[in-house]
Each structure stands twice: as C-alpha cells, then as structure tokens.
Amino acid sequence: MFDVALSPAGAQIALATSSDEKHPPENIIDGNAETFWSTTGMFPQEVVIKFQTLMRITNVHISSYNVKKLKLEASETEDSNKYDTIAETELEETDSQLQQEEIQLGEKRAHSLRIVIESGFDHFVSLHKVVVSGQAMHH
C-alpha cells in the first residue's frame, strides 16, 4: 500500500470550490502537513483529488482544522460526474491542534476522490494533508 494522493505519485487536484493562491488546494497532496488549503467562505465546500490511474483504496487519513461534517465520494472512471458516497463522518472540534481523522473504507475502487465539507465549526476550515492508502488496479 502507498499514499496514492501525493503529487509525486501522479495525483492532481481536479477541482476545488475555494482558491486563495497563498493557500492552494495542491497543498493537501504535497505530503507536508504545514501547508494547507483554506476554504474562503460559506458551505458546502469540495475538493477533488484525481489519482494517476484507477486505484483500489482502503483508507483515508485527513489532517484538518474546524471541519465538522465531511463526506467522501469516489468515481471509478477518468472523467465522469458519477460519484458514489463511500463514507460520511462527523469530526470532533479541536483546540489549536489539527484534527486527525482516519476513515476505513474496506476496499473501494476510485479514479478520483471527492471530499465534500458540508459544515464547519467556524466560517473557514483548512485541509492540511490527505493520505489515501491504495494501489493501482491491474486490468
């Protein structure tokens, strides 16, 4: 198993609903928890990570701040709008430290992963790092 949501591993940000160029969404797949993507107001917010190829993924670890309700959706094809919800979770509020949320998926197939932040504990939330454990599917 590898972290397939790393830019050196070919992962890309396909879409994000907020953009402050000082804190771009690419910061969540750079492997560094010090850099972050910041939302810029209102909910819901979403970011889509596109993997290099179709992956079999087993769990997702998210380092974040002020996120309340979160939903994970997966799409199996390269550029489809068809997403299936694979996990939904409500996070605990933390005080001056990152939230560390581990989400077990069993085994899911995904070419891209959509992270939907449905609500937050404050006006703005940050995503610092998303680790997706998985490996390429062999056809």
Partner 1 sequence: MPTILRCKCIIVGDATVGKSSITQVFHSDGSHFPKNYVMTQGVEVLVKLVNIPETSDSVEMYIYDTAGKEIFSDFVKRLWDHPSVIMVVYDCTSETSFSSCVKWLERVRAQSPNTQIPGALIANKVDLEQRRIISPKKGQELAQANKLEYFECSAKEMQNVDTPFFYLANEFHKVYEERAELFNSLS
Nearer to partner 1, 41 or 106 (CB): 41
Contacts of 59 (CB under 8 A, 6+ apart): 102, 103, 104, 105, 132, 133
CB of residue 82 to partner 1, shortest distance in Å: 26
Binding site for partner 1 (CB under 8 A): 18-23, 33-34, 36, 38, 40-43, 63, 65, 96-98, 119-124, 126, 128
CB of residue 39 to partner 1, shortest distance in Å: 9
CA gap 46, 39 in Å, rounded: 9
Nearer to partner 1, 68 or 108 (CB): 68
CB of residue 126 to partner 1, shortest distance in Å: 4
Nearer to partner 1, 34 or 92 (CB): 34
**Alpha-carbon distance values, 101 to 9, 52, 60, 94 (Å):** 22, 24, 8, 12
CA gap 121, 67 in Å, rounded: 6
